[in-house]
Amino acid sequence: MVALAQEEQPSGKPAPQNTCLVCHSHLGGQLASPTGPFPTDVHAEKGLTCASCHGGDSTSMDIRVAMNPAKGFRGRPSRQEIPAFCSRCHSDANYMHKFSPTAKTDQVAQYYTSVHGKRLREGDRRVAVCINCHSVHDIKLVSDPTSPVYPTNVPATCGKCHSDREYMQGYDLPNLSQVEDYQNSVHYRALSVEGNLAAPTCQSCHGSHGATPPGVRSVTDVCGTCHAFNRDFFEKSPHRDAFASLGAASCVQCHGNHAIQTAGEYMLAGPNSVCLTCHAPDDNGGQRAQEMATSIRQLDGDIQQARETMEQAERAGVDMSQAMSELNNAHNRLVMARTTIHTLDSAQVAAETTVGLRIAAEIQEEGKQKLAELRRFREGLALSTVFIVVVVLSLYFYIRKNGRSSSTEP
């Protein structure tokens, strides 16, 4: 069987003959179901046939030959056999690199480190195996938008099991609303609305083949894969040891896990403050939170005012390209100030906002000065125009008057 599979060449063209499809297309029902989608399956597109996976001889119309165990025929694998069934090719680096020099070949090894793989070895036949995520006879490349494991489709693919309350009965999971929660998150909006395929989906945090729930100690590193500065600042903050002593998952305590919302100053102070779920407004933590919120809100407001002044000047015809570049620097300070919140050090946050406030004030002043200069120029132009009009009219009437006088002389 392995030899048969590996004799196939990555030609990119369908095999010239596949008698399996010919026979099965006439059988009807479940036995005919593979014949419809398989011609567009990625394996078929690469020149593989039914025999490449199931063994036998796909060139013979004689069922005794086509399905002969002596020719490696093995038919339909059981769920427990599927990972090994797929890995005969997908764990063979030499074979897979014929199709792609960057093809990964450790998927099955990772799978058996996952909750799915461990439970499968324990005899649980309900856990996900390769076909639950990748499908069976209509498998697509991961980069194909119609693939179940394309980034925008991953939540629904995981949700087929994890959102099915009846199917998930008996498993010790805290809730089954993960997909619904995720679809209300800032990450999902970035993925689905903004089209950012780099936005986190299920496998970004849990892994794909080696899927496992992040432990309490690993949450910071999982989130830090994308949010590196936040992670580094948190690791140096008082919260790190405090959360560890409570056995609390770091980032999750303030941001949640699946239903993560856009972070902002509202989390520091105000009616929706996250800080005040643990701290009192007048204790050290509550006061720091208020200080950080105040300085960040001030910078955000000043940047908005500077932007409005700059845009007003641009509409009036003033070149503000340099100011735009400087305003971007102020905005970068705002972003860094918000990130620095994770230090819990209001002085560090203020160090960022102070620089941003100075830049915003300079832009605001520059915009006002250029608008004032433009206003004075226009006022001068208007006065000059009036003066010129008066002179022209005076000359006109003078010439007209003198012309009439000349015409009346004998």
Residue type, 85: F
pTM of the model: 0.80
Calculate helix-pair angle for 321-340, 284-315, nearest 10 degrees: 170
* pLDDT per residue rounded down to tens, the chain (410 residues): 333 333 444 444 544 478 899 999 988 888 999 999 999 999 999 999 999 999 999 899 999 999 999 999 998 999 999 999 999 999 999 999 999 999 999 999 999 999 999 999 999 999 999 999 999 999 999 999 999 999 999 999 999 999 999 999 989 887 889 999 999 999 999 999 999 999 999 999 999 999 887 775 678 889 999 999 999 999 999 999 999 898 888 899 999 999 999 999 999 999 999 999 999 999 999 999 999 999 999 999 999 999 999 888 888 888 888 888 899 999 999 999 999 999 999 999 999 999 999 999 999 998 888 888 878 888 888 888 988 998 898 888 888 877 666 555 55
For the chain, which residues make up each domain, given as ranges?
A: 215-261, 284-383
Question: DSSP secondary structure string, 198-245?
Answer: TS--HHHHH-STT--PPPGGGHHHHHHTT-HHHHHHHHTSHHHHHHHH
Instruction: List the Cα angle 52/55/58 in 5-degree steps.
Output: 75
